[in-house]
Structure 1
């Protein structure tokens, strides 16, 4: 299942936002407008599927730090609300502070509600509903079955409900979101795992931290046994260069032969920008791409000459996976528009809240005006 829409309410600088997910979604904006908060809110949905969303919020400073940072209207509860839609299914979660009677640490993030709804024709049917620790599911006959204390207040029903077989949609949505992959940055310092050999284990998709980079590249050589596209991409970014990856003694390694250099350079010898670009090659050219890939400012540390080749990589990969990118690089945005005709999505702040130009209250983007219309 692919995500078709997300909704965010009361997350940091995002007061209320609903937007469609397109095969290639690219958002550009200046520093401080809240681009990263869009990325992080998606990551929180994946954490809900993994059962660690409350821990992630605690690690980020707790609800006081994570919830809407602006002024609230009278009566607003300030709860964090997230939802994701998958074709006919919609998952929603609401997180707030514990009630005085709840067995919880003071200030601990608590799951207040969760739900799964299905669209059947023109009807919307609720299939799972969770209120605090009470989980109720609807069976095939339409009858509800309730499970008291089925999950702890800090656990998601999506990950921890022991009777998920009673509601197969729980498993469908959980597995769909667990397949999402997020890439925020890659460590390229001398001690980085990217610069070291890694275990020779078949690696169809690069891990979030890139620590299995050599194995992901070697998988293309050893398993697919076809690296024409990979070498073409290397040539596009580094004319005259050749990338090699191999397995030896239970470990995978790689090197890069640059044009006019007497010998190839191994990972520990490559510049930060070159190593970062090879990581992005592995992200977008893996043996099997994750169904949904989100990247936060992938242009960081790259020379401007690499942005056009990166745009071509992204555009080509968008036929194999849904890709979601936030960037502050106008040059990358223009290159992506040239390669894929992706519409411009500009992130701005309006009255202190993060929003997107052209996004309607109904969660749809207005059609862009042509240049003739603008004149």
Structure 2
């Protein structure tokens, strides 16, 4: 289970350390930094899972992702991301490529006191990465250490020795780990991250794939865009918790029932029966909010839950009357897996408050912080040195 998330110098987040539990709700006013915390977690996931830093390029490069506050001349450019699980801790420190002889045309970097020689001066490089085995980082608890392009791992005698594989400055050491036996802790961390799931792109527009028929095949996980919804729903109803699904639909839309109609060729389509209507409605006829509720119920009752489920503003397009049902589905999902909900919906927060770890963000002087948590309060975390 993910126990702690640490972020430094990412967008509005100067420095935040968040303790996590089984069910977590991240909330706050618009502009408080909820989306930035979510994006930081997703960026950390991409680095651990894929080992590449390409996600930063999609954000405009490291320059665009750095905290926008004032920085003293000569202070190293750094973006730090870290986490602690029940078995190990991981931290990475990203910065700019440096040299003693900056190129004269790279004025922005020179003005900041960053000597740069790269052809892509704003591409990040990995300055350091560490994996350690306890809450506190000590030489004796370090399992894998990367400084620059040099990686060290523990040998059979538990001595830190140089790894046989090499890394590039612009990629994580997880990208080039080929033999799990050389760094089993690093491999376990990467495999764990591959079990995380982010639900933030369930489409409900008129052309959404969720509105289309699909082959009625075993689909234990609803795709991220909501495609193959009929197959995923058929899986929930046939091998999952069909009773919970029907109860949720009845609570959200009293008297209604959602099911699957399958033709002779094995193609299935979603239909919804409602009181007072002479025929069931096809998925293409459903409102965005109704379809989104069905998508969320299908995903949250999946027979194959991820190790971590992250919901980003799941209340979007939903009528407030549906939020108690959504809260019940989220609570039920948290009995099967760890859940993080990012939301600004007060009714949803209140619906989860009794069972959740509520993390309320606020922004003061341009920096995001956790409300009522002083600078030296919260979970203990020490960043590795470069």
Output the TM-score relative to the length of structure 2.
0.87
Contact 2:80 2:94 in 1 (8 A): yes
Contact 2:310 2:340 in 1 (8 A): yes
TM-aligned CA deviation for residue 242 of structure 1? 0.7
Contact 1:150 1:161 in 2 (8 A): no
Unaligned runs of 5+ in 1: 366-375
Distance 1:25 1:362, change over 3 A: farther
Q: Of residues 119, 122, 134 in structure 2, which corresponds to 1:119?
A: 134
Q: What is the 5 A alignment of 1:197-212?
A: 197-212=213-228
Give the SS at the match of 2:84.
strand
Q: Of residues 243, 247, 252 in structure 2, which corresponds to 1:237?
A: 252
TM-aligned CA deviation for residue 300 of structure 1? 0.9
Q: Distance in 1 between matches of 2:79 and 2:314?
A: 27
How many matched pairs?
361
> Which piece of structure 1 moves more, 167-176 or 76-85?
76-85
Q: Distance in 2 between matches of 1:252 and 1:296?
A: 29
Contact 1:29 1:347 in 2 (8 A): yes
Counterpart for residue 347 of structure 1: 361
Q: Distance in 2 between matches of 1:120 and 1:107?
A: 33
Contact 1:27 1:346 in 2 (8 A): yes
Q: What is the 5 A alignment of 1:1-150?
A: 2-51=1-50, 53-73=52-72, 75-100=74-99, 105-119=120-134, 125-147=141-163, 150=166
Contact 1:221 1:246 in 2 (8 A): no
TM-aligned CA deviation for residue 52 of structure 1? 5.5
Q: What is the 5 A alignment of 1:330-341?
A: 330-337=346-353, 340-341=354-355
TM-aligned CA deviation for residue 93 of structure 1? 1.1
Counterpart for residue 110 of structure 2: none
Q: What is the 5 A alignment of 1:126-275?
A: 126-147=142-163, 150-224=166-240, 227-245=242-260, 248=263, 249-275=265-291
Q: Distance in 2 between matches of 1:198 and 1:113?
A: 46
Counterpart for residue 105 of structure 2: none
Q: Distance in 2 between matches of 1:147 and 1:105?
A: 28
1:359 aligns with 2:373: yes
Counterpart for residue 104 of structure 2: none
Deviations 1:53-102 (A, max 9, x none): 41110011011111111112455323111111111300111111223487
Unaligned runs of 5+ in 2: 100-115, 380-386
Q: Distance in 2 between matches of 1:149 and 1:102?
A: 25
Counterpart for residue 369 of structure 1: none
> Which piece of structure 1 moves more, 234-243 or 181-190?
181-190
TM-aligned CA deviation for residue 201 of structure 1? 4.0
Contact 2:165 2:177 in 1 (8 A): no
Output the TM-score relative to the length of structure 1.
0.89
Give the SS at the match of 1:165.
helix
TM-aligned CA deviation for residue 131 of structure 1? 2.0
> Which piece of structure 1 moves more, 54-63 or 343-352?
343-352
Distance 1:16 1:122, change over 3 A: closer
Give the SS at the match of 1:119.
coil
RMSD: 2.3
Contact 1:98 1:110 in 2 (8 A): yes
TM-aligned CA deviation for residue 157 of structure 1? 1.4
TM-aligned CA deviation for residue 244 of structure 1? 0.6
Contact 1:199 1:250 in 2 (8 A): yes
Give the SS at the match of 2:15.
strand
Contact 1:151 1:160 in 2 (8 A): yes
Contact 1:15 1:68 in 2 (8 A): yes
Deviations 1:306-364 (A, max 9, x none): 11111111112111111111111112111222xx4435432101221111113344563
